[in-house]
Amino acid sequence: MRTTLRDQSAETIAYAPELLPGLILGDRSQQSEHLDEAMKISGLSHLSAVSGAHTSLIAAAATLLFRSLRLPRSIVIAAFFCTLLLFVQIVGMQPSIIRAATMGAIGAWALYFGRGSQALPVLALSTIVILTISPELVHEVGFQLSVAATAGIVLGAQPLERWLHRYLNKVLPDFWASMLSSSLAISTTAQLACQPILLSFIDYISPYSLLANLLATPLLPLITVPGTLAAGISVVAPAISQTILHLVAIPTSGIGWVATTVTDLPGAKLPWPDGIAGVLLITLHWAACAIFIVRLLRSQRRPKPPVKLDERVPRLRRSMHSLYRQHQGVTSVVQSMILVIAVVAHVAVFWPSNGGGVDDNWDIIGCDVGQGDMFLIRTGAASAMVIDTGPDEALAQRCLADANIETIDALAVTHLHADHVGGIGGVTARIQPAQVLYSTGADPTYPAAETGLPDDAQHVKEPVVQVIDHAADQGVHSVQVRWTVLSADSQTSNENNASLVLLVEIYRHGGTVKALFTGDLEEDAAAQLIAQDLVPEDIDILKLSHHGAQNGGTELIQHTAPEVAMIGVGAENSYGHPHDDILSALGANVEIRRTDLDGTFSVTFEQNQTYMAVDR
């Protein structure tokens, strides 16, 4: 069935060939790396994992069908159980499916015997039953997310929906106010409940995930129910199945469009802070969510009767009630303070950095990507040459977003150490570079195929000279960039010494600024290049080798005599970068810019004079 569904889905349109197998049967094998990343960043990956929502839709459709046939209640319940078992068997024993099926079975059983059902006790009982049978599931992230999302919806969706409806109903017709408030409440409560768990294995948040779910989730019923029917008959009635899949390909493509569009928005991935700041922020997140849900639940309590009962209350009881009300007042103030602090903390951490940001007229940017290198050379109004990508995809994307880069004319990876190439997936997921080049040595420890480099990336083994000229069509930022690979040693066993050594000449304001980028080149290789007269002496800007490490040596500094030195280095790193000897060699007359102290910084040229505009 899975194979037939994949084959038939391949005949559909747009994103449907990649998404249909996942949306119907949880089979993500057809998703490209680009679309898979987009689904994750947009917060829509749960749609292609077959979750409780899929189970609920299938079970509800089956129940509606059986009830419409006026079958006896016992037959309907039995058919309901059979539908759940069949669906679980088809899609596989995934944690979220097991949880949803168990909840559905317990709830249906309770209703059948006239005991009613409440979602929270059913969730608790189903979780206990599942973990009793399979205790190892407690370590499964999928199971944790499924239970957390369901608990968040059960506890907070209804009161939040009522609260939202009260305000939306003032500006929208009742039907649309109900639809929008319900969708917002479910998406918000599920997202808030899952976020702390998600942060245990990803280091970013998706600010547009709520919007993406609001747009994409309503399309799911149009895919799941007919799609499951198509999968079920795909072997015995392929023509009918293919017709159904062509129809559901339209909403499926809509989900793919939402995912890719949201991913391309500025700031689609915001990195979560490391260390104690990240822990405190998660703690505030949980505390604020709990307080907010409790307040919403209390607001839904039945109001007190308008009639005041005339009865004599003992003095002791009145005193105790007075103390209780004072306690409640203090508690309310504390809760309000926690909510305000949580909101302010989140805004302060994730507020876009380019608001006071990088100088609009920047020519070079040093990206703060932690302990690693990433630099942007501006080639036009919204285009750049990128040198290295740092170790983190989210931080690499954030730098491109802060610089408002829409086009990458060239991406140069100096060598294949993770702190220079680790973020390449984030760069290519956001923008496809016109060309990608890299260097690597003879050490088999660093295979290019495992770094995320595109298939068409060029392994540079000899000098290269190219010109990027947008001067004619870029009136806003007229510039010409000539870049030259001075060295790329593919035979060395030292990956640092395999680094591309790039001379970048930037023609702007009627003058030329020369910048030298050295990767992690060590002093022995640097001395050899100088001896071979491959490194020019008149360099304006020098990117210090190996994050300012001592093994980068001082000969390059003395030979090039730069006016500006740039260092890509992580704050409080354990390597001791940059080394004091390197900083001393630069002297007092060299302007030093370091990402550990300055954050993301920009270098701007004005009428042949260089000045530094430093921003975090």
Amino acid at 107: G
Residue 492 and residue 472 share a domain: yes
Amino acid at 445: T
End residue of a domain, out of 181, 205, 229: 205
Tracing tokens 């508690």 back to the chain, one arrives at 331
Measured over the CA atoms of residue 488, residue 489, residue 490 and residue 495, the dihedral's sign is negative
**pTM score:** 0.53
Residue 229 and residue 197 share a domain: no
Range of the domain at 36: 1-43+219-270
Residue 583 domain-assigned?
yes
Residue 509 and residue 425 share a domain: yes
Residue 306 domain-assigned?
no
Residue 266 and residue 281 share a domain: no
Residue 124 and residue 85 share a domain: yes
Give the pLDDT confidence of 524-553 residue by residue, as tens digits. 999 999 999 999 988 999 999 999 999 999
Residue 67 and residue 198 share a domain: no
Residue 600 and residue 552 share a domain: yes
- For the stretch 60-88, what's the b/e string if a residue is b when 16 or more beta carbons lie within 10 angstroms of its beta carbon? ebbbeebeeeeeeeeebbebbbebbeebb
Closest CA to 415 of 335, 549, 518, 294: 518
End residue of a domain, out of 270, 287, 308: 270
User: What is the spatial distance between Cα 339 and Cα 591, in angstroms, rounded to a whole number?
Assistant: 44
CA distances from 289 to 203, 286, 394 (A): 20, 5, 25
Residue 193 domain-assigned?
yes
Q: What value does the mean pLDDT of the chain take? A: 80
**Range in 81-95, 255-269, 501-515 the model is least confident about:** 81-95
Give the pLDDT confidence of 454-478 residue by residue, as tens digits. 989 999 988 889 998 876 665 667 8
Residue 495 and residue 397 share a domain: yes
Mean pLDDT of 483-501: 93
Residue 21 and residue 58 share a domain: no
∠ CA 70-74-78, rounded to 5°: 100
Residue 497 and residue 429 share a domain: yes
**Range in 172-181, 313-322, 375-384, 484-493 the model is least confident about:** 313-322
Residue 180 and residue 197 share a domain: yes
**Structural domain total, the chain:** 5
User: What is the spatial distance between Cα 592 and Cα 584, in angstroms, rounded to a whole number?
Assistant: 11
Residue 214 domain-assigned?
no
**Range in 153-162, 247-256, 316-325, 423-432 the model is least confident about:** 316-325
Residue 314 domain-assigned?
no
Residue 210 domain-assigned?
no
Q: Are the beta carbons of 419 and 446 closer than 8 angstroms? A: no
For 171-175, which contacts have Cβ atoms below 8 Å and span 24 or more sequence positions?
Answer: none
End residue of a domain, out of 205, 230, 249: 205
Residue 401 and residue 290 share a domain: no
Residue 85 domain-assigned?
yes
Residue 510 domain-assigned?
yes
Q: Are the beta carbons of 580 and 553 closer than 8 angstroms? A: no
